[in-house]
Amino acid sequence: MRNDGCATRLPVTVAQFTVAREPERNLEIIDGFAGEAAAQGARLLVLPEGLIARDGDDDAFAAAHAQPMDGPFVSGLTTISAKHNITLMGTVHVAPVEGAEDSRVSNVFLAIRDGEIVASYRKLHLYDAFSAEESAVVEPGETLPPIIDIDGWRVGVMTCYDVRFPEAARSLAVRGADAIVVAAAWVQGPLKEYHWKLMTAARAVENTCYVLACSEVSSRNIGCSRIISPLGEVLAEAGDSAAELIAANLDRNALESARQTLPVLSNRRFADPQLR
């Protein structure tokens, strides 16, 4: 721990797995990963997108099984976080409030620590691409994603398709993010795995941030979760066919060294005021 209260190293983990159709089973899986991560000393466990329920052959299944924010699934996540003394990050589909004009659900990224939701973010960029139309069932968010403090480390968040928009990651970097977490359910297809690896590395290098990217792994989604250094080095990487927990230490000295060697944030000549 440095004198300014910021941990020199932040142990982190990323858990990719196949999200089951049954919410209770998914809570069991997450609890198991949280216990394993905590036993390794991790302070953060990153989870995939759409944690409540999924069916690999049904694009609308996750949205159809949305729950209220105060429902049993999110309550289960808060219990797991408190039990294992670890910050959880991942997304859930949240049902609209009763009487809402828009009947679509929200895809909400949650950061949960000590049994409490410390930040939430509604997915900004919806996956209306590659013949998919997420916006048919999900209402988009309207605000830039937040940054969460973990032991003095500033961790920004994004959800899946957000990673294709450099300005989303840049907004986090210029607001002081040291690391960016991406929770995803990255769909398989021609060049899709290449795009995932290319863009997660690009978001790290162009912003000199660590990137922790977690994708669900299933018959539909690629897995290939990864932890990337601020200079693009892959520190840990999962495969494309099975559940797996990967781990790394984020290093403050390595981060500061990268930003001295490659000062892209301070060298910028053009800046959108909205990203500040």
Buried b (16+ CB within 10 A) or exposed e, 170-198: bbbbeeebbbbbbbbbbbeeeeebeebbe
User: Are the C-beta atoms of 233 and 33 separated by less than 8 Å?
Assistant: no
Question: Of the residues 134, 160, 209, 216, which is catalytic?
Answer: 160
Question: Of the residues 6, 24, 36, 49, which is catalytic?
Answer: 49
Strand-pairing partners, residue 184, are: 215
Is 197 one of the catalytic residues? no
Half-sphere exposure of 148 (CA within 13 A, CB side): 22
Q: How far apart are CA 242 and CA 219, in angstroms?
A: 10
User: Are the C-beta atoms of 39 and 85 separated by less than 8 Å?
Assistant: no
Is 28 one of the catalytic residues? no
Q: How far apart are CA 170 and CA 109, in angstroms?
A: 18
Is 192 one of the catalytic residues? no
User: Are the C-beta atoms of 183 and 14 separated by less than 8 Å?
Assistant: no
Tokens of 273: 């005021």
Q: How far apart are CA 184 and CA 212, in angstroms?
A: 11
Residues with catalytic annotation? 49, 123, 160
